[in-house]
Amino acid sequence: MAAATAYTGAWEGTSYVAYLDTIASPPVWTICNGDTYNVKKGDVETREGCAARLRRQILEHEARMIQCAPQLWDVPADSYIAINDWAYNTGTGAACKSGLIRKVKAGDIRGACMELSRWVFAGGKVVKGLANRRMNGLPGLISERALCLRGLGA
């Protein structure tokens, strides 16, 4: 849990004041590390509150992902963290319907890792932040695809 929250928190960034995420369609009020649950304009959160929100969101999110793909229990730890980070960012509804999760269910984890590079679009355009998160990484922060493949010893 600690590794997952640290990884997702680093990619999501932290905002202690609610902001309108306009990349989402429709736009949604967001706070802390990408939390949209019950968030409204004007909300403010503390560091501790954001940490608690992220832990809750990761646990709830993980439960939904395991429900749609119980095969995730058998995925190596780094691959699991990468796939769940992707699903946290894209939403479990889209994730559970994806070709990436179909590959996980079929036991093709390497193929699932490679699918991550397809999830870099918003509004039909490549978003640099998504490309960094999925494929390129940032200084000191490994990409989801690289982390996923590292779990397989690649």
Helix 47-68 × helix 2-12 angle, to 10°: 110
Rounded Cα distance, 74 and 113, in Å:
15
Alpha helices in the chain (DSSP H): 2-12, 47-68, 77-90, 92-96, 99-105, 109-115, 128-131, 144-150
Cβ(36)–Cβ(30) below 8 Å? yes
Sign, CA torsion 20/92/66/127? negative
Catalytic positions: 12, 21
